[in-house]
Amino acid sequence: MPAPPLFAKVNDQTIAYDVAGQGPAVLLLHGFPQTRAMWDRIAPALARDFTVVTADLRGYGASSKPRDMPQMSFRVMGQDMTALMTHLGFDRFHLVGHDRGARVAHRIALDTPALIQSLTVMDIVPTHHLLTDLSHQVARAYYHWFFLAQPEPFPETLIGHDPDAYFERCLLGFGKATLADFAPDQLEAYRAAWRDPDCIRAMCHDYRAAIDVDLADDAADLDRRVPCPALVLYGADGAMARAMNVAATWTDRLADMRAAAVPGGHFFPDQSPDETTAALRSFLLATT
């Protein structure tokens, strides 16, 4: 059994986190519909060289679940994370995110660039690009963006009848994954989280906020580039890689960018943890 999380009261939220290792700080952020448990096969290897912090985003896992939709925007989720790292004594850190965590990480790097030593985003294209250059291929693969964003309580009610069926379909539906790709203890952590009606509501609010709040925030920053070294990783067989040139969507948003494909689909950190760890470790050591 994994150790119980630590908790920090920051930014009017309770944030669940784990910390391990010594050295320069690295913050790892999970995505939908996962929790910080997604890093369980990656964080220990990174902890040989770094102080590794894994945290549940607000609304997810064991962190608190805001009731109001604007409180699930990427900006306020990012403010939780910078407050957490300040609470832990880190005034500068490497930042890594997958899926929603990558979108939070991108927003953090725009809002507080002085804090970020390097940025890694995993298997996303910029939010503004996704929503304004939407193709039917992407809309079909990522239909959940628009289903979850429907007015409350429509998606919550449908999902609540069988959360495991819905969210496990999400794990399998974004490119080349099977349930066997996810370690049993990780799956149990995800199920425990997403069976909570408050978590279901918060995750829906996350996607509502992407359209109602985050899109405007990103539109206001289209002329800005993240200045720190940045790594774009994506699943070689994922829906994004099949539909577009993932690296090209980031060239006007990251000033110092490199990109690489990793075997697997959207959830390549789960499918290919060794390859993901190697790519991350090489980049982090080179930018420390």
Structure tokens at 159: 């999902």
- Residue 35 CB neighbour total at 10 angstroms: 26
Long-range contacts of 258-261 (CB under 8 A, 24+ apart): 258/229, 258/230, 258/231, 258/232, 258/283, 259/231, 259/232, 259/233, 259/234, 260/231, 260/232, 260/233, 260/234, 261/233, 261/234, 261/235, 261/236
Q: Which of 40, 80, 99, 218 is catalytic?
A: 99
Distances (CA, A) of 236 to 96, 181, 252, 257, 278: 19, 16, 22, 18, 16
How far apart CA 30 and CA 211 sit, in angstroms, is 20
Active site residue 266: yes
Residue 151 has a CB neighbour count (10 Å cut-off) of: 8
Q: Give CA angle at 76 (189, 18), nearest 5°.
A: 35
Whether 18 is a known active-site residue: answer: no
Which one of the listed residues 94, 129, 144, 266 is annotated catalytic? 266
* Beta strand 226-235 pairing with 116-122: parallel
Taking a C-beta distance cutoff of 8 angstroms, is the pair 225, 251 a contact?
no
Residue partners of 153: CB distance under 8 A and separation at least 6: 201
Catalytically active residues are 99, 266
